């Protein structure tokens, strides 16, 4: 199978799957999700992603339809159904099925899974970014399905010929990107926004900080500003779909690309970690 869809125990080719209109995701986007890469039929950092998935569900009081180990077993079994082992593994749980009412539907949620072909970038080619004011709600630490601001920001980046949009909040604090975390290297130190309610605590972000520790690169978890972003020696973007990238343009202006030594060490560390963990 090239692309797989799963819904509450039923699965098949993604294009042939259907879901009930009364799933609360249709009315309210009422659910949470997580996702990560798979190589050689081995899902990378699965424990970390599943732990975050369950934390997101608990934050919204969504009852999970299975425990963590059963979910991991299900995901590992499904990837073996695929024609190729290099995949993007996505899963979400919605609050359940019922006639449209704002109050919670009782009972366990609905589990969705999709598996689609994907490959991790090696991070060598720089990307281009734009900035945009962050007008999202104040629960960005929960990986909810309410992604309209991120959708609009991603479309804006696409129309500008860029890979990502960097969000900032007045008076200029940088938070994260539309679907990534963003960090800067300045004077040999990596700066990353703290994991408060304004950003998602990214799995790749956590691996980046562990790489800094292993490579003796100092890092600080503290807010930084748009001015500091533009002045940074390197702008680094991390995500589960592209572990470690750096940018050479920001809002059409030259940016970053002034600390290749530190960036290359981090890029190679993260890439080697991924390749080793998914060697099959």
Question: Annotated active-site positions, please?
Answer: 143
What are residue 237's DSSP bridge partners? 182, 245
Helices (H) and strands (E) in the chain, counts: 7, 15
Q: Which alpha helices (H) appear in the chain, and where do they start and end?
A: 24-28, 46-59, 68-79, 148-159, 203-214, 226-231, 260-277
Kindly report the number of other CB atoms within 10 A of residue 127's CB atom: 19
Contact in structure between 25 and 94 (CB atoms under 8 Å): yes
The count of residues in the chain is 280
User: Strand, helix or coil at 31?
Assistant: strand
């Amino acid at each position: 199978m090239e692309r797989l869809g799963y819904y509450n125990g039923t699965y098949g080719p993604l294009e042939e799957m259907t879901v009930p209109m009364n799933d609360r995701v249709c009315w309210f986007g009422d659910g949470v999700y997580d996702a990560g890469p798979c190589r050689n039929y081995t899902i990378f950092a699965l424990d970390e992603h599943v732990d975050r998935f369950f934390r997101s569900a608990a934050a919204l009081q969504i009852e999970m339809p299975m425990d963590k180990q059963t979910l991991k077993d299900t995901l590992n079994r499904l990837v073996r159904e695929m024609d190729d082992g290099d995949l993007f593994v996505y899963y979400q749980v919605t609050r359940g099925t019922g006639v449209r009412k704002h109050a919670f539907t009782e009972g366990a949620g609905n589990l969705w899974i999709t598996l689609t072909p994907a490959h991790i970038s090696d991070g060598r080619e720089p990307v281009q970014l734009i900035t945009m004011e962050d007008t999202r709600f104040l629960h960005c630490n929960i990986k909810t399905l309410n992604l309209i601001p991120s959708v609009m920001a991603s479309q804006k980046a696409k129309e500008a010929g860029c890979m990502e949009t960097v969000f900032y909040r007045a008076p200029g604090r940088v938070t994260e990107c539309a679907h990534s975390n963003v960090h800067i290297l300045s004077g040999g130190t990596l700066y990353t926004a703290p994991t408060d309610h304004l950003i998602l605590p990214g799995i790749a972000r956590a691996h980046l900080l562990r790489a800094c520790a292993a490579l003796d690169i100092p890092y600080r978890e503290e807010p930084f500003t748009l001015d500091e972003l533009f002045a940074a020696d390197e702008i680094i973007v991390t995500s589960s779909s592209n572990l470690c990238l750096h940018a050479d343009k920001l809002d059409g202006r030259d940016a970053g690309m002034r600390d290749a030594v530190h960036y290359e060490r981090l890029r190679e560390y993260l890439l080697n970690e991924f390749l080793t963990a998914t060697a099959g």
